[in-house]
């Protein structure tokens, strides 16, 4: 089976996020007020072939931990979807 | 009202994504087979104060177009959520 995977990688709470801070400082100057708690992260989407969703989850979690994110400073959240046409 | 906003910024179809290509090439070498169509993007989350969800949507769309993304080469997708404790 083929699954759609969307991985979100964000800096852990307490880890500095200079890009987010820069955006937050710049927005009021550009006329966008009322924005707070800006955080940036990375998005990685792909397709994966696996026997079932449990197998896909095992592979994706391993990939996130070992390769796609740095678990010391980043949180990874993976959404695995079984997408198929109906009918 | 305060809304949670999550903006996903991805390279448009047909625009080269060197980071995604590098990940796709590296994964089999690291023992992760069966992965295809790797695309990377940026994730920006923040909170925004607005009168209602329609006002929030107007501001966020304008922000995406003028500041957060480059519409020539990137697609932006914004999810605006009204998050509140119940009861």
* ipTM here: 0.87
DSSP letter at A12 equals: P
**Per-residue confidence band for B29, with pLDDT thresholds at 50, 70 and 90:** very high
DSSP A14-48: TS--HHHHHHHHHHHHTT--SEEEEEEEEEEEEEE
A interface residues, B as partner, C-beta within 8 Å: 8-10, 20, 23-24, 26-27, 30, 32-50, 59, 62-63, 66-68
Q: What is the pLDDT along chain A (87 residues), one digit of tens a residue?
A: 999 999 999 999 999 999 999 999 999 999 999 999 999 999 999 999 999 999 999 999 999 999 999 999 999 999 999 877 777
Contacts of A80 (CB under 8 A, 6+ apart): A3, A4, A5, A48, A53, A56, A57, A60
Q: What is the CATH architecture assignment of B2-81?
A: 2-Layer Sandwich (3.30)
Distance separating alpha carbons of residues A60 and B43, to the nearest angstrom: 19
* Shortest Cα–Cα distance, B28 to chain A (Å): 11
């Amino acid at each position: 089976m083929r699954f759609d995977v969307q991985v979100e990688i964000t800096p852990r709470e307490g880890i500095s996020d200079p890009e987010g801070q820069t955006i937050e400082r710049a927005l009021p100057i550009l006329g966008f007020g009322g924005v707070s708690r800006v955080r940036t992260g990375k998005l990685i989407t792909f397709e994966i072939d696996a026997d079932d969703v449990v197998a896909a989850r095992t592979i994706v979690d391993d990939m996130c931990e070992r390769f796609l994110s740095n678990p010391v400073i980043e949180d990874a959240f993976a959404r695995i979807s079984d997408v198929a046409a109906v009918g």
